[in-house]
Amino acid sequence: MPQKQKSRNGIPAYQQIQTVIRKRIESGQLRTGDSVASERDLAKIHRVSLMTARHALATLEREGIVERRRGIGTFVAGPKIHFNKLMSYTEQMASRSLTAGSKILFAKVIYDEQEIAARLALPTNTGIIKLERLRHASDEPFALESSYFSSAEFPNLLSAPLNRESLFKILERDYKVELGYADEEVDATAADARTADCCPSPAESRSCAFAS
């Protein structure tokens, strides 16, 4: 096995290369889809072997930070959401070094959602809080999310800073709800006129809709 190259401070050179790339992504210098320096260029810039530069990019690829396209180059990967752990949208975005944001599109108590009432094990025509938010990732529209709550069990929820704070944190802090699992539906559907207005995208592209 080849010996790992180290810098003067003792940190492996490949880790230093990774740190530089991560910082450029976190600072916005590199965005999703942007080209990352090639193995050869990284080797020259950081004065390391080609193998060390290749190892740095390979590790970033395994972490989902970059994607390598054969014969084309290496690019900053788009955000990937993993549902194997219960995390708020804010936490999911933070794990990808992205800033989460929300725009509230609808937040009212409704009484005509019989199917939702049944899924929440509530009597028909019970008051239900419907919260619809456009979720952003680093200022880019990412998902249209709808959430439903019993208005009796979550009084004053509509007065909470839902556009600034994590909904999970509000539920845990203000209502002492211990979140153990999430029943979520994720649909990739052709954008209707309203969704297209919220999330501008090329014609015939697909949009992602969440319901929780």
CATH number at 57 reads 1.10.10.10
Judge contact between 40 and 79, C-beta under 8 A: no
Evaluate whether residue 4 is within a structural domain. no
36 and 120 both lie in a single domain: no
Q: Are residues 96 and 199 in the same domain?
A: yes
Residues of the chain scoring pLDDT < 70: 1-9, 79-100, 137-139, 180-212
Domain endpoint, select from 26, 55, 76: 76
Reduced to 3 states (helix: H, G, I; strand: E, B; else coil), residue 149 is strand
The pTM score is 0.48
CA atoms of 145 and 19, how far apart (whole Å):
33
Question: Does 105 lie in the same domain as 142?
Answer: yes
User: Which residues touch 173 (CB under 8 Å, ≥6 apart)?
Assistant: none
Q: Can you give the pLDDT at residue 6?
A: 53
- DSSP-based three-state secondary structure for 158: helix
Q: Determine the Cα angle at 194 with ends 191 and 200, to 5°.
A: 60
Task: Check residue 12 and report its DSSP letter.
Answer: B
Radius of gyration of the chain, Cα coordinates, nearest whole angstrom: 22
Residue 163 shares a structural domain with residue 101:
yes
**Residue-range definition of the domain harbouring residue 32:** 13-76
Which is nearest to 48 in space by CA: 8, 79, 82, 84? 8
One domain, residues 140 and 106: yes
Residue 64, pLDDT score: 83
pLDDT of residue 210: 45
* Helix 39-46 / helix 50-62 crossing angle, nearest 10 deg: 120
User: Does 3 fall in a domain?
Assistant: no
Counting the structural domains of the chain, the total is 2
Amino acid type, 120: L
Give domain status of residue 7, yes or no: no
For residues 39 and 64, membership in a common domain is answered with: yes
SS3 33: coil
CATH code assigned at 189 = 3.40.1410.10
The pLDDT, as a whole number, for residue 203 is: 45
Whether residues 28 and 123 share a domain: the answer is no
> Are residues 71 and 93 both part of a single domain?
no
Instruction: Using the 3D structure, point to which of 76, 101, 117 is the last residue of a domain.
Output: 76
Which tokens sit at 152? 């009796």
Domain stops at, among 76, 97, 129: 76
Same domain, 111 and 36: no
Secondary structure letter of residue 203 according to DSSP = T
Quick check: is 81 in a domain?
A: no
Same domain, yes or no, for 154 and 113? yes
How far is C-alpha 139 from the chain's CA centre? Answer: 12
Are β-strands 140-150 and 206-211 bridged in parallel, bridged antiparallel, or unpaired? parallel
